[in-house]
Structure 1
């Protein structure tokens, strides 16, 4: 898989998205839990320290003397000259927690409480909190480390699961793409039975097998029908040719010729749709192809009183079956001669070829219909035509993976374009 393909998968993988969402939710929950744990724990600890300080203050009797002892400071609120300024400010506020900028008695964090001693005199009590701060930092570190570890594990598991699922999804998508391009023999060949993706793959294979059977049956039926009818048609034509000359004989021969053409076209479409792969493909120069066709059909078009124009601008070569392209363009030219106006334009530009006319054109909402087999705009089917011309062109386009584009000619008419993919 290319770098672009990998980036596309990373952006579009539903499994990885789920892993990211779960990781984000887990991270949010863990961060909230860590904050609440540390915040509530700190508040509870401070209340317990305040209770201890209150008990120390109530049990002391300073009477103007200092009650400092190891790890505890007991002073009268006015006897603070040798204490840090920050600690004195907290005493002035009535107590609280203070973070000093440097160690004071081997501690930077202190909890201060202003209360009264056993004699009812005001007293300031302070104890260091460094041990508690270290404990809370350790607790926070454990919580954050656990959260990051779980997030990494979730992403790793999600990524690994995504890769495994993506391989099967890629195989399913490739099979569906092959089926859409006409290769009805494509299968996922996934035989495991582990999860819903395996169930989907097997269902795709079953559907493809049934589709292949039905399409093969239909193609076989239509091809056999066309082939079997050619023999009686040939006999009918032979008998018609043996009849005396006359208007009825000519009309009958013309109609039999038309029927033979219909069956020949049906068989050509069936053969094109039934083939796969690139057997018979070669590099075809689109400019040379369209030049040969313009030289072939030019005199015929001029004999009908119409004008043929040809333009080849920077035409490129494509990997294609030349004979199929000749059949497709020939059908488009015949359609333009039959239904178009007095001008027919052949063009080869880049990797596209087109045939345009200036006739009455076709309504855009009918474009999808007229490329179907046996579909004709004449509902009564009284006009000439078989409804197979554009169907054959569509079959050739599908065979080459090309886009078949129908558009309106300016100011009126129909333009049919074949746009080939890059080599």
Structure 2
């Protein structure tokens, strides 16, 4: 995968990771809270500074006599509110408001920020007092810079911690998800191999491993039981057939032998399904080119189809290659052809399109609501009960598709018929 492809895949992972999104959301909430705290702290600090300066100005005015204490210096201005000659115009507007902070465009007496207050002197005469806030403002700016820098570092650090923590948790979730995917694909030996018990994710992983172990045991018992029953009954059936063959020729003998053969075929199919479901891994898989594969099937089964008065056709459209167990794939296609011979119409079509292969017919078809039912073992629809069959053909096809990780797709043909496809394309 290219660097761009990996980057895009990572972005998709970030988008789909609920744990990582939650971690980053909490980090973002913390970051916003930190920024609000700094802003409030600076605002309250500025208000506290102004109140303290106002208290100082009130004390200075109350201890002075305006007539003797008038001054216009770089450290303090004390004048009558009616005598503002020589002062910048913003001082007048501040006096009209009763005081406030004056922020000048240019320095006045070496300061561009003044705090103005209108109060009364010791003789109860109105007086305007102003002091520069240059030093205090600079200190406030330095403090604000320190706080914002610290907040920025803390925010970045919290986001990094959130990203790392979320990534670690997401990897654990991915391990659990990968194990579930393996189990769903039929690998009942898959485990998370997680032994720590520190939090809820560890508990989930442990429970998943325990559940998978029990599932593997139960499935193995079920498969072994069905295979054992089928195997154990083959011997009595063989003996029964041998005794039937010793009977005199007649219609009853032929019917009995036919039923014995049908029972033997049913048990053989059950054992084949059990063997397919029990296999794991990719042993026996090879590259199968679908076009020559369906041509070989047509050569093999064409005479059989013609013998029952039906036509066998091939529908090939840009066929590809698949990784498959050829013998299993032949078994599945043979069962589909047999199903079409019994239940289909006059034409059977072998289909190979892309990474899909299957069989289509022009028979009466199947109600789409019944698609999930017909793949179950021993299930036969009402319309099929008047014909021969065991209800295991499509169950074997389903077992082969699951063994290969392929999708078994059913669809209706137009105007009538059924189309059954094994789709090997990646999900």
TM-score w.r.t. length of structure 1: 0.92
In the alignment, what sits opposite 1:419?
Answer: 423
In the alignment, what sits opposite 1:31?
Answer: 35
In the alignment, what sits opposite 1:136?
Answer: 140
Q: Is the 8 A contact 1:15 1:161 kept in 2?
A: no
In the alignment, what sits opposite 2:265?
Answer: 261
Could you tell me how far apart the structure 2 residues matched to 1:363 and 1:147 are?
Answer: 66
In the alignment, what sits opposite 1:245?
Answer: 249
Q: Which moved more, 1:178-187 or 1:8-17?
A: 8-17
Show CA shifts across 1:361-401 (max 9, x none): 21212111111111111399554211111111111101111
Taking structure 1 as reference, are residues 400 and 46 closer, same or farther at Cα in structure 2, changes over 3 Å only? same
Tell me if 1:363 matches 2:402.
Answer: no
Could you tell me how far apart the structure 1 residues matched to 2:209 and 2:308 are?
Answer: 53
Could you tell me how far apart the structure 1 residues matched to 2:189 and 2:121 are?
Answer: 95
In the alignment, what sits opposite 2:337?
Answer: 333
What does residue range 208-223 of structure 1 map to in structure 2 within 5 Å? Answer: 208-223=212-227
Show CA shifts across 1:43-101 (max 9, x none): 23222322322333343333498422451111234443432333344335443212112
Tell me if 1:305 matches 2:309.
Answer: yes
- Which of 177, 183, 198 is the aligned partner of 1:194? 198
In the alignment, what sits opposite 1:17?
Answer: 21
In the alignment, what sits opposite 2:76?
Answer: 72
- Which of 283, 296, 308 is the aligned partner of 1:292? 296
In the alignment, what sits opposite 2:163?
Answer: 159
Tell me if 1:83 matches 2:70.
Answer: no
CA RMSD of aligned residues (A): 2.4
Q: Which moved more, 1:51-60 or 1:227-236?
A: 51-60
Tell me if 1:317 matches 2:321.
Answer: yes
What does residue range 275-286 of structure 1 map to in structure 2 within 5 Å? Answer: 275-286=279-290
Could you tell me how far apart the structure 1 residues matched to 2:361 and 2:192 are?
Answer: 45
State the Cα distance separating 1:183 from its structure 2 match. 0.9
Q: Is the 8 A contact 2:69 2:78 kept in 1?
A: no
Could you tell me how far apart the structure 2 residues matched to 1:126 and 1:265 are?
Answer: 104
Structure 2, unaligned runs of 5 or more: none
Q: Which moved more, 1:360-369 or 1:166-175?
A: 166-175
- Count residues in correspondence: 423
- Which of 37, 47, 51 is the aligned partner of 2:55? 51
In structure 2, the residue corresponding to 1:108 is in which secondary structure?
Answer: strand
State the Cα distance separating 1:405 from its structure 2 match. 0.6
Q: Is the 8 A contact 1:15 1:158 kept in 2?
A: no
Q: Is the 8 A contact 2:408 2:423 kept in 1?
A: yes
In the alignment, what sits opposite 1:350?
Answer: 354
- Which of 200, 203, 209 is the aligned partner of 2:207? 203
Could you tell me how far apart the structure 2 residues matched to 1:181 and 1:65 are?
Answer: 95
